[in-house]
Amino acid sequence: MMTCEEAAIICNKEQYKEATFTEKFKLIVHLFFCKTCSKFSKKNSELTSLCKKAHLHALPEKDKVKMKKEIEGKI
């Protein structure tokens, strides 16, 4: 039986389609018995879905560097 910590890691991997078939199977078994991890998995899926719907994008690296220089110049 896997630990809840291992289940959380696999749950996160599954959200990004990186979990193997064996990991997915073990996670399903764990979620069947562990209601806490089952709730975590559901909330994690909801969060991923909301982020996809929001069309979130990371700030480009060059803009991060520019902002950092501007902030350092004001300090």
The confidence score (pLDDT) of residue 61 equals 93
The predicted model scores a pTM of 0.68
DSSP the chain: ---HHHHHHHHHHHHTT---HHHHHHHHHHHHH-HHHHHHHHHHHHHHHHHHHHT--PPPHHHHHHHHHHHHHH-
What tens-digit pLDDT sequence spans the chain (75 residues)?
A: 899 999 999 999 998 889 999 999 999 999 999 999 999 999 999 998 998 899 888 889 999 999 999 999 888
> Smallest Cα–Cα separation from 12: which of 33, 30, 1, 27?
27
> Smallest Cα–Cα separation from 34: which of 68, 57, 1?
1
